[in-house]
Structure 1
């Protein structure tokens, strides 16, 4: 099964923003490489997520999400994989539900060493915070593991991308910083300065 709102062979990239019906020229792409258990990804999303959504909503760019699950191998467990499969189920409901669920997952991310996202009841419980997500189709997909095969395909595509760390963010194919030297998320104005410089 391949969720809606995905592109690429096997639907390995989750899109938020303008779709194939968007007027020409299509907005530039901002690629986000993330692992749902990565605390630095959570810092980035918690600080910059609203800014990224606004840029996409305003048609200034389109978000392409790429997910790895390498922290499952490094730390043990299946939390990255199960959370990614649940995010796929959310993407199948709609772009807004996907992005809302992604934000909720990062906002409620367990400690890196705790495999809380491996538990279906946690994944379903967090979905209560996302309007329009707790439909039977979403619940059934999580409980049945409907998108776990897709999640493995997404993870393989990440492994083959050449990206070595998360979060990695590219705008128009060029890297942009989202963390400072201390590993803290950049404030939105510093991030936006990079985007506008690259766009110019």
Structure 2
């Protein structure tokens, strides 16, 4: 193993540990806020006053009937999954991630070539669940806005290349740069054919924001508490940060033994 690979794996482990510390702090804050909110509701009821909590990220994302709009091709329960790769691939990699999350960025930089190779060979498909954990930890809306833009890219059949561009250009987590739609649209220019009027309107209008929020709610309800959370055929394989690209490939090969690869279509690549 080269020193560069060892350094990359060490960086991924360190980023994951740091993210988990932030997640634990967030969970503690959430418990405190839940208790405080309960007190407010009781006091409000006693005084005959209704208390409303503003949702600053709720604009856009539903039709005239108030229904949540899932991106094209989304699958799974409540259509909360964006699939990449052959639908009939024998193995499935499930990834819960946040475009603003540094540990997710470390994971992507280490595993993306292997994941793409497995997808493109028909050995595996990837199912993405988009999460807004960092917005909850640090405030801001970069996680939400980037996830909405990625869902808009899915509408244009360009989720994978745009997903990769977002991680290749991820700002520091303290810099909520992805909250700016101009940044997201500029990065879309790196994906040939993506920056269309329809994509631009989807990004600036927040078409899929309620869908992203529903995806994040499902992540919380599932009991996961860190990103990335990575499952292979339903089994968590990244919880101890010991996963490597080689071991991922070996696990997929073992799981696929005796099975036919899926039917592959050509995947676009970013410029």
Same fold (TM over 0.5): yes
Which residue is equivalent to 2:141? 78
| Cα distance between partner residues in 1 of 2:254 and 2:173 | 34
Residue among 185, 192, 213 paired with 1:124: 185
Further displaced range: 156-165 or 72-81: 156-165
How do residues 85-96 of structure 1 correspond to structure 2 at under 5 angstroms? 85-94=148-157
Alignment partner of 1:157 is 2:225: no
How do residues 39-188 of structure 1 correspond to structure 2 at under 5 angstroms? 39-94=102-157, 97-177=158-238, 180=241, 187-188=244-245
Alignment partner of 1:193 is 2:254: no
| Cα distance between partner residues in 2 of 1:197 and 1:167 | 23
Which residue is equivalent to 1:18? 86
Q: Which runs of 5+ in 1 are unaligned?
A: none
What is the Cα deviation at residue 62 of structure 1? 1.1
| Cα distance between partner residues in 2 of 1:153 and 1:138 | 21
| Aligned residues: CA RMSD | 1.9
Q: With structure 2 as the length reference, what TM-score do the two structures score?
A: 0.65
| Cα distance between partner residues in 2 of 1:59 and 1:151 | 28
Corresponding pairs, count: 189
Q: Which runs of 5+ in 2 are unaligned?
A: 1-68, 258-271
Alpha carbons of structure 1 residues 56 and 194: separation in structure 2 relative to 1, 3 Å: same
Further displaced range: 2-11 or 120-129: 2-11
Deviations 1:97-152 (A, max 9, x none): 10111111111111011111100000001111112211111111001111111111
Which residue is equivalent to 2:96? 33
| Cα distance between partner residues in 1 of 2:239 and 2:111 | 8
Q: From the CA coordinates, give the structure whose radius of gyration is larger.
A: 2
Further displaced range: 82-91 or 7-16: 7-16
Which residue is equivalent to 2:42? none
What is the Cα deviation at residue 180 of structure 1? 4.2
Residue among 72, 78, 81 paired with 1:4: 72
Question: Which structure features the higher share of strand residues?
Answer: 1
Alpha carbons of structure 1 residues 70 and 138: separation in structure 2 relative to 1, 3 Å: same
C-alpha contact 2:118 2:249 (8 A) present in aligned 1: no
- Which secondary structure state, in structure 1, belongs to the residue aligned with residue 90 of structure 2? coil
Alpha carbons of structure 1 residues 28 and 195: separation in structure 2 relative to 1, 3 Å: closer
